[in-house]
Chains A and B, each alone.
Chain A
Amino acid sequence: MSSTGEKTEIGRRDFLGVSAIVAGAIAMLSVVAGALRLTKSNVYYEQSQKFKIGRPENFPAGTKVKLDEKKVFIFSENSGLYAISSICTHLGCIVSQTDSGFLCPCHGSRYDGIGNVVGGPAPRALPWLEISLHEDGNLVVDASKEVKSGTMFLI
């Protein structure tokens, strides 16, 4: 059905048509890209990750405190203070404290007293969190900053 004569006759039209369709497709893609970008939230309605936990003298050596709302354990030893996140590294449940360490109720991950994995599906140890001293004398835990396991905060 298509002869060479017909091809040359409509060649220009085809160029116009193809470029139109291509341009249309690119334009639509840009719109879709913008729309997809739109769906990503720019801001989160979450409390600040940094929080004050009190003054150092509130944590005499030997203290073990679980701050439920902040999802963190605070330990105080003679050598210093440290904070361990209570969020299980497996799928985010909250671990509970046992005699030997921590236990996650959801899928049975087990950690030892300083957060190292000793059983279950957890891929890595419970993170230690940064502790610093605020100007006003309060201790500040920053849950967004992980420190190396074993890093003590010296008073």
Chain B
Amino acid sequence: MSESLKSGIEQFKDNIFGLKDSLTKSYLRAGKPTSDMSRAALMVNNFFLHIQGAKTHINTLRPAYTLGMGLIAFYLFIITCVSGALVMIFYNPSIEHAYSTVKDINYVVFAGRLMRNVHKWSGEGMIVFVLLHMARVLYTNSYKRGREFNWLIGIVLLVLTFVLNLTGYMLPWDQLSYWALVIVSNIIQSPKELTDILGLTKFVDIGGIQKEFFLAGTVPGAATLNRVYFLHIMLLPIIITTFIGVHFWRIRKDGGLTVPDNFNSSCNVDCGNLVVLPKKTGGIFTTNKTYGLMTMSKGVTPAVDRDVENTVLSWPNLAIAEAAVFVLCLAAVIVYSIFVDAPLKEAANALIPENPAKAPWYFLGLQEMVSYSAFMGSIVIPMLSVLGLALIPYLDRDQSDVGIWFSGSAGKKVAIKTLIVGSVCLIGMLAFVVNFGWFRNWWPSIAQIWIILINPANLWLLFVCAWSIWIIKSTGSTRMGAIALFTMFLVSYLILTYVGTELRGPNWEFFWSKAQWPIH
């Protein structure tokens, strides 16, 4: 009895001294990552890491291939969330206090201005990197072989990124917020343009209902701010987090990142810098291990049909790469935020709009199109564009040449040709519109339907479609058509955004530079 008691105390003592080991073991399950086996287990057993494979293809780790875009976009999202939470501690979503609490964040919160800048810039950075990530996926032909649906999810994430940014700048309740709310609510209402023409408004006023639902009134007010706040900090983050999860999960399920069919297995010197190459024998997948884990998923799965030679262990190769990119990303955002302040305009004034009332840069391409027709520019054309982008993987079913930039030199030529033709024609069209105006300037009493049907934005959309189809016809490859279409999209977004940001001044008039703006 006494002996067993003593041994119990001894055990207890041992347990106390053994706490460090037992905690580590319980956390790591397979022990420290000292062997290939335990390194693989670390990846598989960790909740946050298990969405990635135990082994990673070398191609995935080549910076020149992925450019890290998707990862950066994700990290920016993480940074946005954390900095957003920190800013939220001080922000008060009421029209009386929203503005002054944001001012407080700027003035009396320790590093508050910096944190707000980080939140703002990482949010805007997301737009840039989501777009770049999209471009990378498209140009490396990586939306194929089971990845079609993930492209769709990516499109959803793109739209969500825009909407999150939009709802974000509505919160400080400054002039920008207020007039953005006014403009956005009227954009939401703009289907009325069409229902008016069709005479349907009196039966079902879709635009009006949407607007009222969004504003909870007829003009932006306290209730609107609460709705936007709810969207920005709760609904949209939940949705986007979910979709990001699905997006990652699908990457894994769809067989990881694309790899060229003829990936060069004999790795050159660069490769040695990037990863620690496995020895010819002794890797976990080359010995007597089974592929049990992998067979749990159906379809094309990583590593099974690949040469094991071209994969390396994810821990530490992938892990350190991801850590490095994260720290780089954070450093870049903080440096940028130290030197560039997020804008905060005058307190909201419902009587005096800003002139020009410009949205943030990423919407100015849209605003340029809105200046032709609200309904087409802000609803139909963006919807058609998103639809067109979403359908790319389904209209281009050519399964060859995945994982190669531009699918080779032919694609590069098409991209360059499209870039030149697109820029010249779009700039030419804008020059025409700036110089001569459009229907309303020529025939002031013209019916709105004609402007809805025929306006520069529509013509441009038709031109883009025609060009892509012509490319398909002339090259005989739907893949080239996809490259042409997407290049046109990028060119349009860039040029329209540039024109909207730099060349449009008060009253949406054309100016070569901001220095020429008349002072208000």
Contact = CB atoms under 8 A, between A and B. Distances in A.
Interface of A: 1-2, 10, 13, 17, 20-21, 24, 27-28, 31, 34-35, 37-43
Q: What is the predominant secondary structure among interface residues of chain A facing chain B? A: helix
Interface in B14-67: 34-36
A100 B89 CA distance: 45
Nearest to B35: A1
Interface of B: 34-36, 82, 86, 89-90, 104, 108-112, 115, 276, 282, 316, 320, 323-324, 327, 330-331, 334
B111 A37 contact: yes
A48 B273 CA distance: 64
A24 B109 contact: no
B86 A38 contact: yes
Nearest to A42: B108
19 contacts: A2-B34, A21-B323, A24-B324, A27-B327, A28-B330, A31-B330, A35-B86, A35-B115, A37-B110, A37-B111, A38-B86, A38-B110, A38-B111, A38-B115, A39-B89, A41-B90, A41-B109, A42-B108, A43-B104
Given A17-B320, A35-B86, A42 B327 contact: no
Contact of B327 (A10, A24, A34, A39): A24
A37 B112 CA distance: 10
B108 A43 contact: yes
Contact of A28 (B86, B111, B327): B327
B111 to A, nearest CB: 5
A39 B330 contact: no
A125 to B, nearest CB: 36
B109 A42 contact: yes
Contacts of A24: 323-324, 327
A17 B323 CA distance: 12
User: Which 6 pairs, one residue from A and one from B, show the smallest C-beta to C-beta distance?
Assistant: A42-B108, A43-B108, A37-B110, A38-B110, A38-B111, A24-B327
Nearest to A37: B110
Nearest to B320: A17
A13 B109 CA distance: 42
B381 to A, nearest CB: 41
Nearest to B331: A27
A37 B323 CA distance: 24
